[in-house]
Structure 1
Amino acid sequence: MEKIFIENEYLKVGIKLFGAELTSVVSKESDAEYMYQPDGIHWNKQSPILFPNIGAIRENSFVYEGKSYPARKHGFARDYAFQLEEQGESFATFLLTDKMIEEEYPFKFELRLQYSLENNALQMTYSVSTTSPELYFAIGGHPAFAVPLEEGLTFEDYHIQLESEAPVSKLELEIPYLASLEGVPFTEGDFTLHHDLFTNDVLLFKSKDPKFKGKLYSPKGQRSVTVHLNGIEAVGVWTMADDSPFICFEPWDGYPDLAGDTTLNLKEKKNILRITKDTPYQSCATFVFE
């Protein structure tokens, strides 16, 4: 499967055209691989793009302008090859449009994902535009990082640290839906990882602080991954509830369907974004590798 590489003096990064999926982040100083590498036993993905919906969508369908359309968990973008639109030594931009998909889908769109490097940081910039009168969607990332990040440590040696100057809420799930958009106050800024945390799927946190960030690290180790949300409201922390050797840091702009909201009408959903042909969307998440 064709892969694109970008690099600078600190990092070398690999991205597949299929799904514009991030597959490798290697430190040039230590030769350490930060990304989870599928082993045929655990998860078979590494960094799918979540678009045009995140998580579960009720009845695997939605209604727009009186017509029903099929849909599926986490959307369809991860299931298509993107076009390499532009590439330089330290950046690459990938494009998916409505003309490139086989879905029955009522909106015209252009979805771009740009990966760019600056020092020891990788910025993932999401851009969405439409020539339709409007477009309803959610968008997010799902990159999986290796845990442990260095030899001699275990999964349970790692912590997640959340930093925010605004209150942080933990959003609870009523599987497979989201219980509410408000969540409950979360004041535990640092917690230890263990797989039992994920028996109810993703841990999801949100904050209004544009400097909201999360860090994957071990007090016993040297390497870490920090995600800066840059105004994206929520971050998911996820792994499989077994012995899977990875943690996903998931920047989410939009949410799964709400447990108490039974509507299929896309215009009535409260968990997604709306843009018009005059108001394109852009956001970015920055991952720092130390």
Structure 2
Amino acid sequence: MNIFTVNTDCLSKTKTILNITLKNHKLTATINHRGAELISLKDNDQRDYIWNGNPEFWGKHSPVLFPIVGTLKNNSFHYENQEYHLSRHGFARDMDFELVESTAEKAVFLLSHNSETLKNYPFEFQLQLIYTLEETKLSISYHVFNAGTNTMPFSIGAHPAFALPESFESYEIEFDQNEALQYHLLENDLISNETKILNTQDKKLPLDYTLFELDALIFKTIQSKNLTILENKKPILKVEYEDFPSLGIWTKKAAPFICIEPWFGYSDVLESTGDLLLKEGIQILEPNATFQSIFSIKIL
């Protein structure tokens, strides 16, 4: 089955729609065509669990990171003896996606390569984001299709920011595994060789802004495949990311949100040669092949 088939029966003047809303008897989700970005996830009490995008702190909500995650060394890579440039986290988050399917509880967005993307990323691709409401859970599925004739290196990741209306210290993150949480420090937005161990208490990490004084916590590999956010000791939300190997956790000083970021890939390491095919954490997709992954946000 071709997962990129357009369901035209579900469309209605999609080019004029800026946002689309999904709704069931438990949740309401709103997604913007720009970046196919989740901008709101509300329960029946109208509590919005997604950060509102106040640019005073950070003007995004939940961008998709593609075709890279993080930062390239010198914001560039080389492929077949030619140099290309990509800004942090890639271009997908700033492009308009096409709505190709829409029902009350599901929306499918599509981004395809074009003459502009090929200037900075010389690969023919189709990227599909599928949002599905299921009771108190929103699932976000990524499908990447290599439409070209060469193997395609890429990274992809999520960057949801969750609103924290209480004081930052009122929150904890609970990991599902009892593990030594080793994270890498960043140096000029690149991953250094310096690591630290994150100290948890009964698998819980009390939130404190000092954790992020040196930017994000970067876990190249992590055993925990779901994280729970607790508010005043009460679980409120769970992020599940079973097949994602890497994770970032990030906020900004005094910002009332926390980002839980499942990734396939991460920023260049300091020793990076710039060869995209050899980039640490890169995914390699054969021609006519499809990559699929899924993560979910569950309101507790």
- Give the alignment's TM-score, normalised by structure 1: 0.90
Residues 168, 207 of structure 1: 8 Å contact kept: no
1:116-141 CA distance string (max 9 Å, x none): 11110111111101122211111001
Aligned with residue 46 of structure 1, among 39, 52, 61: 61
Using the TM superposition, give the Cα deviation of residue 283 of structure 1 relative to its aligned residue in structure 2, in angstroms: 0.5
How far apart in 1 are the matches of 2:221 and 2:279? 21
Amino acid aligned to 1:96? L
Count of residues in correspondence between the two structures: 280
Residues 167, 207 of structure 1: 8 Å contact kept: no
Partner of 2:210: 196
Q: Report 1:253-264 matches (<5 A).
A: 253-261=264-272, 263-264=273-274
How far apart in 2 are the matches of 1:36 and 1:229? 20
Structure 1 counterpart SS, 2:210:
helix
How far apart in 2 are the matches of 1:74 and 1:265? 17
Q: Does 1:154 align with 2:167?
A: yes
Q: Report 1:1-290 matches (<5 A).
A: 2-28=18-44, 30-99=45-114, 101-102=116-117, 104=119, 105-132=121-148, 133-148=150-165, 153-164=166-177, 168-180=181-193, 186=198, 188=200, 189-205=203-219, 207=221, 209=223, 212-220=225-233, 222=234, 224-240=236-252, 242-261=253-272, 263-290=273-300
Amino acid aligned to 1:229? Y
Using the TM superposition, give the Cα deviation of residue 197 of structure 1 relative to its aligned residue in structure 2, in angstroms: 1.3
Any unmatched runs of 5+ in structure 1?
Answer: none
Using the TM superposition, give the Cα deviation of residue 107 of structure 1 relative to its aligned residue in structure 2, in angstroms: 0.3
Residues 164, 207 of structure 1: 8 Å contact kept: no
Residues 264, 281 of structure 2: 8 Å contact kept: no
Residues 19, 49 of structure 1: 8 Å contact kept: yes
How far apart in 2 are the matches of 1:124 and 1:250? 13
Structure 2 counterpart SS, 1:53:
coil
Structure 2 counterpart SS, 1:39:
coil
Structure 2 counterpart SS, 1:110:
strand
Runs of 4+ residues over 4 Å off in structure 1: 100-103, 165-168, 182-187, 206-209
Using the TM superposition, give the Cα deviation of residue 278 of structure 1 relative to its aligned residue in structure 2, in angstroms: 4.1
Partner of 2:14: none
Structure 2 counterpart SS, 1:179:
strand
Amino acid aligned to 2:191? L
Amino acid aligned to 1:252? W
How far apart in 2 are the matches of 1:142 and 1:173? 17
Residues 112, 128 of structure 1: 8 Å contact kept: yes
Amino acid aligned to 2:239? V
Structure 2 counterpart SS, 1:224:
strand
Using the TM superposition, give the Cα deviation of residue 4 of structure 1 relative to its aligned residue in structure 2, in angstroms: 0.6
Any unmatched runs of 5+ in structure 2?
Answer: 1-16
How far apart in 2 are the matches of 1:73 and 1:50? 9
Structure 2 counterpart SS, 1:197:
helix
- Give the alignment's TM-score, normalised by structure 2: 0.87
Residues 168, 206 of structure 1: 8 Å contact kept: no
Residues 1:57 and 1:10: Cα distance change in structure 2 (over 3 Å): same
How far apart in 1 are the matches of 2:283 and 2:151? 10
Amino acid aligned to 2:91? F
